[in-house]
Amino acid sequence: MTGASRGIGRAIALAFRAEGARVVGTRTSGDGAGDDACHEYLVADFADMEQTRACAAAVRALAPDVLVNNAGINKIAPFAEIDPADFLRIQQVNVVAPFLLCQAVIPGMKARGWGRIVSLSSIWGKIGKEYRASYSTSKFAIDGLTLALAVEHAADGILANCVAPGFTDTELTRRVLGEDGIAALTAMVPARRMGSVEDVAGLVLWLGGPSNNYVTGQNIAIDGGFARA
């Protein structure tokens, strides 16, 4: 799984490892040594196409049963002021890297007749918000990519889905928003709390596991009801 060293990605890695899976994650720096979340890491900066291709080749050789595309970046800006270089970098990390990794795992999954692909979208890949054109573009693209995979490969035993987290309680969220910002935010959520990383991990674990035999092509919000309120 990508982006496994912190936040939601780390929680997902821990959830799969607790179920006995051998977990190989990615991170942008380090020596590739494992920790309590992942048995080992592939080191790759997905903003770099050469590193992304090398990572995809390594993943193809691993031939995993489950792929979780979690790594992503964001940069907020008014639409008319978006730097095209920033826009393209976000698409490279959030869309091109998952695309290449999906291509890498399909042959092995198809040969075995079983595979699960879960990609992290966002509520901003289901609904809109100002200043997020670059990010929303990438997350709507992940939804389209996932649907195409699901339609083409369901008969091969490969199920592909998106999970779209809403406001999630991470260290970064708390650092950026502060307690006052978090209080204002949670007041807008019907559940009156942010999601936890464990909430998201539990859904990804189910979609990526053997209990899921028929759910595919979906973009499932996990947001305490925010996007539907």
The dihedral through the CA atoms of 22, 28, 30, 32 has a sign that is positive
The dihedral through the CA atoms of 7, 13, 14, 16 has a sign that is positive
The count of C-alpha atoms lying within 13 angstroms of the C-alpha of 118, restricted to the half-sphere facing its C-beta, is 27
Distance, C-alpha 157 to centroid of its chain:
21
38's tokens: 């992942």
Q: Is 135 a catalytic residue?
A: yes
- CB-based contacts of 46, cutoff 8 Å, min separation 6: 2, 26, 52, 55, 71, 92, 93, 96, 97
The separation between the first and the last C-alpha atoms of the chain, rounded to the nearest angstrom, is 32
Residue 19: what are its φ and ψ, rounded to 5°? Answer: -90, 5
**Of the listed 41, 131, 135, 214, which one is catalytic?**
135
**Catalytic positions, written as ranges:** 135
